[in-house]
Amino acid sequence: MIDFSLTDEQKQLQQLARDFARKEIMPIAEEYDRREEMPWQVVEKAHQVGLLNVAIPEHAGGLGLGMVDECIIGEELAYGCMGIFTILMASELGITPILVGGTEEQQQRFLGPLVEKPALAAFALSEPNNGSDAAGMHTTAVLDGDEWVINGTKMWISNGGEAAVTVVFATTERGGGHKATVALVVPKDAPGFTYNKIKHKMGQRASLTSELVFENVRVPKENQLGGLGDGFKIAMKTLDKTRIPVAAGSVGVARRALDESVKYSKEREAFGKPISSFQALQFKMADMAMGIETGRLMYLKAAWLVDQGLPHGYESAIAKAYCSDMAFDAANEAIQIHGGYGYVGEYPVEKLLRDVKLNQIYEGTNEIQRVVISRALLRD
């Protein structure tokens, strides 16, 4: 039997996240986007109410929430602001390789402190010259006695520099491909680790994005996740999971685009009647609703597979690509429904489009999702 209902706990989580978005995120979203600043107070409040780093398992002191739970929360938070959602989502992304490749001792050592106080994690895979071709990374890790020495630059890292722990993927032999990669946990205060904030992003400007620079950064061997040569696979297994909350967040943005469109179309008049009476606009809103319903089913199915311990990479790629493309279209149509007013910052729909464009690019571009999907089709 298929059961589409949420458990009582999930309904409570959804309500908690919905209230949090309305009270703590929506009133400040526009201001922090304009100032290009990260609202730390939201991170602190999310920690207080139990919406931060929710995937940390119970044995490390966390809530140990599943992927369905994380996605239900994600849809609500992104409804409030996709940029602020990215701060929290990127922290879950930073935690996930430690869950995928770390021992129980490493999980307790690195994740325990993230439970005790409001703190973030980050995931550093992309580089100035290697984004989609992640295995071609140039950042090096050389073993010197009992320590790894890291040199190189990571690019576009969400929460980069502010995170208490950053999982850094590096190569032990340039040109060695994925078999020469390693995943290392780097603390914020490691000597030689610096960062430069990237300014003037198109959207999601409340989320911090940084270039990370590693100059002879030393971390003990005990900070290595998994075995030598496992780095790339740990990154891929992580992304197979964390692309699903991006899908959920995209549905949140699309839902906001629809709600704003319904509201505005009932208020605005043209030719002596509300513009909501024009079938051309009604059909745009009907299309948005179809996309939202379809997208939610997709992300929930992919998340359910994760929670069941079943293969999920194919469904995760489908959900990420479909939901982010759908949400981009929904935000675009919301601007159309708002006419000229939609094109300026007076209404929230202009920000929705700027924000959601990124969902088609990060966590693997939607072309790369289609690479993952088509490889699975042809392999099977």
The contact set with ligand CAA (CB under 6 A) reads: 86, 90, 93, 123, 125-126, 132, 134-135, 158, 178, 232-233, 236-237, 239-240, 313, 362-364, 368, 371-372
Q: Which of 127, 211, 350, 363 is catalytic?
A: 363
Euclidean distance between CA atoms 368 and 242, whole angstroms: 15
* Interhelix angle 279-308/313-338, nearest 10 degrees: 160
72 — phi, psi (to 5°)?
-60, -45
Question: Does 153 help bind ligand FAD (rule: CB under 6 A)?
Answer: no
- Smallest distance from the beta carbon of 130 to ligand CAA, in angstroms? 9
CA pair distance 159, 34, nearest whole angstrom:
18
Q: Is 13 in the site for ligand FAD (CB under 6 A)?
A: no
- Where do the DSSP E strands lie in the chain? 121-124, 140-144, 147-158, 165-171, 181-187, 193-197, 209-220, 224-225, 269-270, 273-274
Known catalytic residue: 363?
yes
User: Is 123 or 195 the residue whose CB approaches ligand FAD more closely?
Assistant: 123
- Other C-beta atoms closer than 10 Å to the C-beta of 189 total 7
Q: Indicate the angle between helix axes 82-101 and 349-357, nearest 10 degrees.
A: 30
> CB of 367: closest distance to ligand FAD in angstroms?
3
Contacted entry of ligand FAD, ligand CAA, none for residue 239, CB cut-off 5 to 8 Å set by kind: ligand CAA
Nearer to ligand CAA by Cβ, of 178 and 301: the residue is: 178
Q: Is 212 near ligand FAD (CB under 6 A)?
A: no
Residue of 364, 369, 372, 373 interacting with ligand FAD (CB under 6 A): 364
| Positions in 278-337 near ligand FAD (CB under 6 A) | none
H/E run at residue 67: helix 67-80
Residue 3 burial (CB < 10 Å; 0-12/13-18/19+)?
Answer: exposed
**Whose Cβ is closer to ligand FAD: residue 173's or residue 367's?**
367
Q: Which is nearer to ligand CAA, 132 or 294 (CB)?
A: 132
- Asked if 83 and 207 touch (Cβ cutoff 8 Å), the reply is yes
Binding mask 71-90 for ligand FAD (x = CB under 6 A): -------------------x
Indicate the residue among 236 and 361 with the shorter CB distance to ligand FAD. Answer: 361
* Surface-to-core class of residue 130, CB atoms within 10 Å of its CB (0-12 exposed, 13-18 middle, 19+ buried): middle
- Written as six digits, the tokens of 2 are 């298929």
Task: Name which of ligand CAA, ligand FAD, none residue 233 binds, using a CB cut-off of 5 to 8 Å depending on partner kind.
Answer: ligand CAA
Closest CA to 256 of 79, 76, 86: 79
For residue 279, give both structure tokens: 């079938």
Residue 9 makes CB contacts below 8 A (sequence gap 6+) with 69
SS3 177: helix
361 belongs to the binding site for ligand FAD (CB under 6 A): yes
Contacting residue, 67, 305, 358, 373, with ligand FAD by CB under 6 A: 358
Binding ligand FAD (rule: CB under 6 A), the pick from 194, 307, 365, 376 is 365
Nearer to ligand FAD, 210 or 276 (CB): 210
Residue 367 found at the interface with ligand FAD (CB under 6 A): yes
Spatial CA neighbour of 337 closest among 276, 254, 251: 276
Q: What is the DSSP letter of 132?
A: S
**Backbone dihedral region for residue 45 (phi beyond 0: left; psi -120 to 50: alpha; all else: beta):** alpha
Nearer to ligand CAA, 154 or 338 (CB): 154
Minimum separation from the CB atom of position 109 to ligand FAD (A): 22
The site partner of 157 among ligand FAD, ligand CAA, none (C-beta below 5 to 8 Å per kind) is: ligand FAD
Residue 154 CB, nearest distance to ligand FAD (Å)? 7
Q: 137: number of CA atoms within 13 Å, CB side?
A: 31
Chain residues that interact with ligand FAD, rule: CB under 6 A? 90, 123-126, 131-132, 156-158, 201, 209, 358, 361-362, 364-365, 367-368, 371
Q: Active-site positions?
A: 363
